[in-house]
Amino acid sequence: MTSWLHKYGYPSLHCVLLCVVLAANIIGGSSHSGERVCSSPPVSSCSECLRRGPQCAWCFEAGFLDGAEVGERCDLVGNLARRGCGLEFIEHPEVMVEVNATTSSTQVSPGEITLTLRPGAEASVIVAVQQLERYPVDLYYLVDVSASMQENLDQLKTVGVALSHRMREHSSDLRLGFGSFVDKPVSPYINVHPSKINNPCSDYEVKCRPAHGFHHVLSMTANMSEFTRIIKRQRISGNMDTPEGGLDAMLQATVCQGEVGWRGEAKRLLLLMTDQPSHLALDSRLAGIVTPHDGLCHLENNVYMESTTMDHPSLGLLAEKLLENHIYSLFAVEQLQYQWYEELVRLLPGSNLLFQAPKLIDVVVDAYKRLLSVVQVSVSVEDTAFSRFLVSVSPLCPEGSVSHDNRSCSNVQPNQTVYFNITIGLHSCPDDDDDDVVQVFVRPVGYNESSIIKVHSRCRCHCGPDWHCHDDTTHQSTCGEVTPDTDRNNQDMNNRDMHTHTPDLDPEHTHTRPHTHTPDLDPEHTPTRPHTHTHTPDLDPEHTPTRPHTHGPEWSRQCRAEGSGVDCNGRGVCVCGKCVCERNSLGTVYGQYCQMDDYSCPYQHGLLCGGRGMCVSGDCVCEEGWTGESCRCPVSTAICLSDNGLLCSGRGRCVCGRCVCDNHQYSGAFCERCPTCHSSCQSHWRCIDCHLSHGLSQREAGECNHTCIPLVGYVNDVTVLLGQVWRQCVYKKDNCYYRFHTALVSGNTLLHFNTQPECVSSRRYVGTFLSVCVLTFLPGLVMLAVLVLLLHRRSLPQGGATDQQYNPTGKDLSHVPKTNEKTVSYRRDRPPGPDRPMEMHITVPKMPLGEPWQ
């Protein structure tokens, strides 16, 4: 039994593609959480390592990082290889996609795909669906025959022949079937009075049929006359409540393939006609029916026998069965119930809602054309594995079609091929961590073909032909126990050459042994050793050797390197004669005597091995493309190529990404500079003078070969030659300056001469001197004249008036008037006599400037 998950639409493209295009993608990578994503926190088994992510791998090589924690075997593939694990000993299941092209069909291809996934990985497949031009059609009428549907039942009597003629334009073969329903024939849905059971319409003196859950009346037939005859014989029935049992009847008409007569090659349409809503799952509890529907066919003599014992089906179950049997569902309802069924069809794939119009034939034909133009697909996973998978679908609508909510494509034309991309990801493994196979069904809605994707889960480590992963899931042997690999231990116990394994130091799993001492270690940081299946032979008690202690002088000698007086170099503990190395924040300590680690290597910019490698036994093992003690040097010499394409301009070697010049005279990033290689400017003056004497003529330039280098060129502007290669020089002759440039290219000296001199005459010097003088003294004279004028104006009297009155006060005795004479009049407010006022006139004569004021 499967669970219906998604409903998606997929558009078609112009080209006909019968092959499938496959792409596998792995989730995650080394950039996820850094390179320690696989081993931090530590793992204890290979299976746990694989669950960390598709980028993690497990090394099952014996002796790998001997003495270190078992979790150090889990890392990225590149890191394990650099740390010394052979590629043949690395468990790293890859995503695999296999296509069985032989199972492809006419409409859906490929028919079968096999995926191999590990936890956290995903793969994408593309399935093609081709739309044909004409299909045979099976149309099954499922009609509510309650009393209110009498008019609709009468309308069906004339549908058969007329619909057959109309469908000839769109179908090569039309067949019709018929079934009826009312409701479950139990209380409270019907009146259970004896007189009402056989004739629910007895109160109206009308002969009605008994209520029934579903009656299959007519199987698919191409005889339209037979269809019309069956419809005319139908009678109405009745029930008590408003909702009807339409969904219950739909499920039986869907799953009873043989009884109904559905054809495998035909487009299947199930038309439900009703004027009331339908009962849903759990409604039957009102009648005491609590058994869920099993989704199977229960017809006997064309009558649904489990109507009174099974609940109404859920929408999920009905949708699943419609998809499995490739059936389109149509709902022809009254306007009052349109909104209720509008919500319902959204949950049923391939469904369409219609009005019960007088012209039912037109409604059916239009619905059929609309259903064919919409391409949808459903992807379902087995119920037992539903929660372990992630499924997504991406439709690609072809030209001319329209995508709706990224779930379907409409307006798909006949003979177009539809493509859709399906991505399946394995989220987790089964509870038992074992490999399994899960089927994923891809069903185009309404098509009688589908594609099956078989997903193989790689959750268990194989670890080579012997399936020995050297992890904690293998059985351990304790000190003194004899293993199959160490038969010689029974012959020589004195040399202590016993292939024993470190016991599990987890307190919950530590086995108590006599004469055994286990050091107190932190359970979270205590390394564990792999288990192996052990077998102890039956020995004579008298000759059975005494089991050695796990700690003592004999064991300590086996845990000390030659010349060392400390167990495990002081970086671990000795258990059963083997070193169990410590783990610290810097990295991993490992080796027979804990003499090696993965952090005692050169650093660069604060990063171990420059962040481009890993430390193995004190040396940096660099990533591809890097070398050097600290992995700071790129292997490629492309960085040392100069503009001319030569390595270090042909004058040096590329060492650690930098040019080292062979000759100390050369310098620069590409050995392109050589200041001392150029001859001095003065050494070229005779050459320049020779060319000037011949008028800078190219025809007479050969006359100067005895004094010049042969590579001499004339240019109008030497500024275009400015750069690191060229050296600028100047030659003076007859008050003219001639500029020229020299360069050393490929061992030859080049000289470029500027034919435009910069000449200066004596008159020009005089004019320049006079201009400077004028521009210097003239502004000074102008400024001086302006200053004198301002001082003169300030010394003149304000306005030049002589009769301006001056009113001295007691606080202004030091003021010196600037007028020649002042007349001041005083008048008292109260004159001495009533006849005339008293007046006083004071005349102040002009005073010399230096005379004091009195």
* CA-to-CA dists, residue 836 to 286, 577, 824, 831, 839, angstroms: 134, 147, 19, 7, 9
Say yes or no to pLDDT of 476 above 80: no
What mean pLDDT value characterizes the chain?
A: 76
Say yes or no to pLDDT of 801 above 60: no
Helix (H) or strand (E) holding 689: helix 685-693
Say yes or no to pLDDT of 19 above 80: no
| Spatial separation of the C-alpha atoms in residues 299 and 313, rounded to whole Å | 16
| Spatial separation of the C-alpha atoms in residues 202 and 207, rounded to whole Å | 7
Band the pLDDT of 621: cuts 50, 70, 90. confident
Q: Which of 363, 453, 531, 357 lies closest to 22, judged by CA? A: 453
| Spatial separation of the C-alpha atoms in residues 444 and 449, rounded to whole Å | 7
Peptide bond preceding 41 in cis form (omega within 30 of 0): yes
Peptide bond preceding 188 in cis form (omega within 30 of 0): yes
Domains 603-634 and 636-675 share a fold: yes
Band the pLDDT of 590: cuts 50, 70, 90. confident
**Section 401-425 average pLDDT:** 81
pLDDT of amino acid 538: 41
Ordered by start, the domain boundaries in the chain are: 2-130+387-457, 135-355, 603-634, 636-675, 678-759
Angle between helices 159-167 and 224-232 in degrees, nearest 10: 150
CATH fold for domain 135-355: Rossmann fold (3.40.50)
Which superfamily does CATH assign the domain made up of 603-634 to? Laminin (2.10.25.10)
Strand partners, 615: 620
Look up tokens 């500029």; give the residue: 739
pLDDT of amino acid 744: 66
| Spatial separation of the C-alpha atoms in residues 700 and 72, rounded to whole Å | 83
Say yes or no to pLDDT of 514 above 90: no
Say yes or no to pLDDT of 853 above 80: no
Are 170 and 368 a contacting pair, CB within 8 Å?
Answer: yes
Most confident range (mean pLDDT) of 126-130, 195-199, 499-503, 718-722 is 126-130
| Spatial separation of the C-alpha atoms in residues 301 and 324, rounded to whole Å | 24
Q: What is the pLDDT of residues 813-830, one digit of tens each?
A: 454 455 455 555 655 555
**Section 594-619 average pLDDT:** 83
What percent of the chain clears pLDDT 90, i.e. is strictly above it? 17
Say yes or no to pLDDT of 540 above 70: no
Q: Quickly list DSSP for 482-496.
A: --TT-GGGGT-STT-
pLDDT of amino acid 262: 94
Three-class DSSP category at 566:
coil
Say yes or no to pLDDT of 838 above 70: no
Say yes or no to pLDDT of 851 above 80: no
Three-class DSSP category at 780:
helix
CATH fold for domain 636-675: Laminin (2.10.25)
**Section 183-204 average pLDDT:** 83
What percent of the chain clears pLDDT 70, i.e. is strictly above it? 72
pLDDT of amino acid 822: 58
**Section 333-347 average pLDDT:** 90
Strand-strand pairing, 589-590 and 596-597: antiparallel
The answer, as to whether pTM is greater than 0.75, is no
Give the residue, 310 or 193, on which the prediction is more confident. Answer: 310
Write the DSSP symbol of residue 19: S
Q: Which residues of 534-565 are buried (b: 16+ CB within 10 A; e: fewer)?
A: beeeeeeeeeeeeebbbbeeebeebbbbeeee
pLDDT of amino acid 10: 38
Most confident range (mean pLDDT) of 131-145, 704-718, 820-834 is 131-145
Look up tokens 């067949």; give the residue: 175
Say yes or no to pLDDT of 788 above 80: yes
Say yes or no to pLDDT of 452 above 80: yes
pLDDT of amino acid 849: 56
**Section 788-809 average pLDDT:** 63
Which superfamily does CATH assign the domain made up of 2-130+387-457 to? ntegrin, alpha v. Chain A, domain 3 (2.60.40.1510)
Band the pLDDT of 298: cuts 50, 70, 90. very high
Q: What is the pLDDT of residues 628-658, one digit of tens each?
A: 888 989 988 888 988 878 888 888 889 988 8
Say yes or no to pLDDT of 527 above 50: no
**Section 390-416 average pLDDT:** 80
Q: Which of 753, 733, 731 lies closest to 742, judged by CA? A: 753
Give the residue, 36 or 395, on which the prediction is more confident. Answer: 395
pLDDT of amino acid 139: 92
Q: What is the pLDDT of residues 243-289, one digit of tens each?
A: 999 999 999 999 999 999 999 888 899 999 998 999 999 999 989 99
Strand-strand pairing, 112-117 and 135-144: unpaired
Q: Quickly list DSSP for 36-105.
A: TTTTSS--SSHHHHHHT-TTEEEE--TTTTTTS-GGGGEEEHHHHHHTT--GGGEE-PPPEEEEEGGG--
Per-residue tokens: 44: 């204890």
